[in-house]
Amino acid sequence: MNCNIGVIKGDGIGPEIVDEAMKVLDKVAEVYNHTFNYEQLLMGGISIDTYGVPLTDETIEKAKASDAVLMGSIGGDTTTSPWYKLEPSLRPEAGLLKIRKALNLFANLRPAYLYNELKRACPLRDDIIGDGFDMLIMRELTGGLYFGERSTKEVDGKMTAVDTLTYNEDEIRRIAIKGFDIAMKRSKKVTSVDKANVLDSSRLWRKVVEEVAKDYPEVTYEHMLVDNCAMQLVRNPRQFDVILTENMFGDILSDEAAMVTGSLGMLSSASLNETKFGLYEPSHGSAPDIAGQDIANPIATILSAAMMLRYTFDLDKEADAIEEAVKQVLADGYRTEDIYDEGSTKVGCSKMGDLIAERIN
């Protein structure tokens, strides 16, 4: 297969971790007789330095012309970087919001899987994690509070900020369908998370999810308030299969889910539109404090590349090979600094990529 992949390395540790994902993809191409063509694209702080904006229209068009986009992390230190002295619409994260909207990437998939080898890195007690857990958070990505109208102005002599949370039924329905479709390929359970005891948007969310659920009689579903879900994630994460939720709730809950796996460095992510196109990135940030030191964990980005093979290119066997290679490396005792524990072998970012690529067969 010939695959055209747009590559956004981004800022901070982004270039390091994307290089390792490309190393693994190149090994997959060699072993399984595929061709991966890469086109380098700029977004985030490096785009601000080069073009004066976090995302250019030209980059958007090149991304649209790709089969998929593999991305590292963007942004820098919010207290010291000159990027954060710019108005909000010109900061690195504005580019991320813009590309999601431009590419209609409304469905964000964030798996949270606890590897047996990393149980000691999980902050939860053994009696809570048991044999481990395997969940997926399906987050609506282009609506809600982050994309609603906003303003900051003086009202009655006081500075007042307003952010608007808006969803229509079509936006809710399409993400619910994605969530139930994914559940059909997993353990056939959906937990829809909202704040229906307070918010009108959540009451509409709950109504539409119930309508969609009727088309999936094999899927068990439940509603859960977001505050209860946050508690349940640390009380009993094994109860979850697919968590379906809106933009801001999904942003927060997916980071919490990531932490109970042991490290944000292990959590992959896919953002999909209504076609096979997707943008694939790790869930963690750019970690500018460790950039260039060869200590970042590239596994989340490598697993994101595996998701790309699975969801965009339908290369399930190749995706399985990457995931199995990651498991083998962890079973062999290799760890980057963020997941290191006594008795394991500490390796750097580049070496971890080498070890995983070597096990692709």
The span from the CA of 88 to the CA of 152, in Å, is 12
pLDDT, residue 258, reads 82
pLDDT, residue 282, reads 93
**Inside any domain, residue 114:** no
341 included as an active-site residue = no
Query: Do residues 68 and 105 make contact, with C-beta atoms less than 8 angstroms apart?
Result: no
pLDDT tens sequence across 113-163: 888 888 877 888 989 988 889 999 999 999 999 989 999 999 999 999 999
Considering the domain architecture, whether residues 193 and 148 belong to the same structural domain is answered as yes
The span from the CA of 116 to the CA of 255, in Å, is 20
Considering the domain architecture, whether residues 81 and 129 belong to the same structural domain is answered as no
Query: Do residues 87 and 150 make contact, with C-beta atoms less than 8 angstroms apart?
Result: no
Q: Strand, helix or coil at 273?
A: coil
The span from the CA of 113 to the CA of 268, in Å, is 10
**Inside any domain, residue 46:** yes
Which residues, given as ranges, of the chain have pLDDT below 50? none
**Inside any domain, residue 118:** no
Catalytic one of 9, 27, 98, 195? 195
pLDDT, residue 341, reads 85
Radius of gyration, CA atoms only, the chain: 20
Considering the domain architecture, whether residues 282 and 161 belong to the same structural domain is answered as no
Query: Do residues 273 and 105 make contact, with C-beta atoms less than 8 angstroms apart?
Result: yes
Considering the domain architecture, whether residues 128 and 256 belong to the same structural domain is answered as yes
**Inside any domain, residue 101:** yes
Our count of domains for the chain comes to: 2
Q: Show the domain range for 296.
A: 1-106+268-361
Domain endpoint, select from 260, 284, 318: 260
pLDDT, residue 110, reads 93
pLDDT, residue 181, reads 92
Domain endpoint, select from 260, 282, 313: 260
The span from the CA of 298 to the CA of 320, in Å, is 17
pLDDT, residue 185, reads 87
**Inside any domain, residue 316:** yes
338 included as an active-site residue = no
Catalytic one of 251, 280, 311, 334? 251
pLDDT, residue 131, reads 84
**Inside any domain, residue 116:** no
Domain endpoint, select from 260, 283, 317: 260
In this structure, what CATH number is given to the domain that contains residue 208?
3.40.718.10
**Inside any domain, residue 113:** no
pLDDT, residue 58, reads 97
Considering the domain architecture, whether residues 14 and 102 belong to the same structural domain is answered as yes
Considering the domain architecture, whether residues 239 and 273 belong to the same structural domain is answered as no
Catalytic one of 9, 98, 115, 146? 146
Residue 242 has, within 13 A of its CA and on its CB side, a CA count of 26
DSSP for residue 289? G
Considering the domain architecture, whether residues 256 and 130 belong to the same structural domain is answered as yes
Considering the domain architecture, whether residues 255 and 127 belong to the same structural domain is answered as yes
Catalytic one of 19, 26, 134, 255? 255
227 included as an active-site residue = yes
Considering the domain architecture, whether residues 254 and 286 belong to the same structural domain is answered as no
Considering the domain architecture, whether residues 15 and 76 belong to the same structural domain is answered as yes
Catalytic one of 57, 227, 320, 341? 227
**Inside any domain, residue 115:** no
255 included as an active-site residue = yes
First vs last Cα of the chain: how many Å apart? 17
